[in-house]
């Protein structure tokens, strides 16, 4: 069985408050985009519970820390899963704020459910996915959602960006979670993103923000420059996704990619 786990972008991200458990309450809108990895599973004759291989972008972590394997082990600890061969072709960059690893884990749960006819519904799969990571559950239904709490409490949204074009640029910049939160001042916005996301797209620039930009742009001014260049190219809305370091722009018409962006990971597609 073969599937194509896709990335997401964050349309706005408000950091509301710090929680007693050390995490933060946020609000954001997750929106899937058609930048994909490829994940395949097949029956295996191996004496091991699983075999894992990968291609594409190198995965430079221990197998025990691989989020796909964590998802497999979680399901295998609750259901009888025969020996399996897993192959992941990695195309979504790491440390990009695109949820690529979370998507891979969520799709592993969905594939195991389908392949072995485990009978889980969406809600059950989401409960497993949230044990892997806060943004894993969004990839189970894989639809635009308003998210709050740690990013795992979803509400439906009528947002429809079908037909718009997106350009994504991910420079070779790594932003750790402590760095991302170091300059953030949590605050409740005057208007919730749940309301603001319903504004016309042309009004987003002045109303919808990613709070991490205030923390991260001073340390990485090239990200601010990329955002400005996206607007100069004609983006209706541009922002950083999650805690970065991907920058994206939403366009009405397909733009021409700037030559200077080609030194970075750059991708464009249609929403």
Q: Are 31 and 11 in contact (CB under 8 A)?
A: yes
Q: How many whole angstroms separate alpha carbon 158 and alpha carbon 166? A: 19
Q: Are 122 and 141 in contact (CB under 8 A)?
A: yes
Q: How many whole angstroms separate alpha carbon 220 and alpha carbon 68? A: 31
Q: How many whole angstroms separate alpha carbon 194 and alpha carbon 207? A: 12
Strand order of the β-sheet with 6-18 is 6-18, 24-36, 145-149, 153-156
Q: Which residue has the tokens 């949590």?
A: 186
Q: Any idea which residues carry the catalytic annotation?
A: 8, 135
Direct distance between the N- and C-terminal alpha carbons of the chain, in angstroms, rounded to an integer:
25
**Cα–Cα distances in angstroms (integers) from residue 202 to residues 100, 177, 205, in the given order:** 28, 31, 7
**Cα–Cα distances in angstroms (integers) from residue 102 to residues 37, 66, 108, 130, in the given order:** 11, 11, 10, 10
């Amino acid at each position: 069985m073969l599937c194509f786990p896709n990335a997401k972008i964050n349309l706005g991200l408000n950091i509301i408050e710090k929680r007693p458990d050390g995490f933060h309450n946020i609000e954001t809108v997750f929106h899937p985009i058609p930048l994909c990895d490829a994940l395949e599973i097949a029956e295996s004759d191996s004496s091991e519970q699983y075999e894992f291989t990968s291609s594409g972008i190198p995965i430079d972590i221990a197998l025990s820390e691989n989020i796909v394997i964590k998802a497999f082990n979680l399901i295998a600890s609750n259901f009888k899963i025969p020996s399996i061969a897993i192959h992941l072709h990695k195309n979504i960059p790491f440390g990009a704020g695109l949820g690529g690893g979370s998507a891979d884990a969520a799709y592993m749960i969905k594939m195991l459910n389908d392949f072995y006819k485990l009978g889980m519904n969406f809600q059950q799969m989401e409960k497993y996915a949230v044990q892997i990571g806060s943004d894993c559950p969004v990839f189970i239904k894989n639809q635009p959602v308003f998210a709050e709490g740690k990013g795992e409490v979803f509400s439906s949204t009528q947002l429809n960006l079908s037909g718009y074009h997106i350009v994504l640029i991910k420079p070779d910049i790594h932003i750790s979670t402590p760095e991302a939160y170091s300059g953030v001042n949590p605050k409740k916005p005057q208007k919730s993103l749940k309301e603001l996301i319903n504004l016309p797209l042309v009004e987003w620039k002045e109303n919808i923000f990613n709070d991490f930009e205030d923390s991260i742009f001073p340390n990485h001014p090239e990200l601010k420059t990329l955002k400005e260049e996206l607007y100069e190219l004609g983006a209706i809305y541009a922002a950083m996704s999650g805690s970065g370091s991907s920058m994206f722009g939403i366009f009405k018409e397909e733009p021409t990619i700037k030559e200077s962006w080609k030194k970075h990971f750059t991708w464009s597609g249609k929403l």
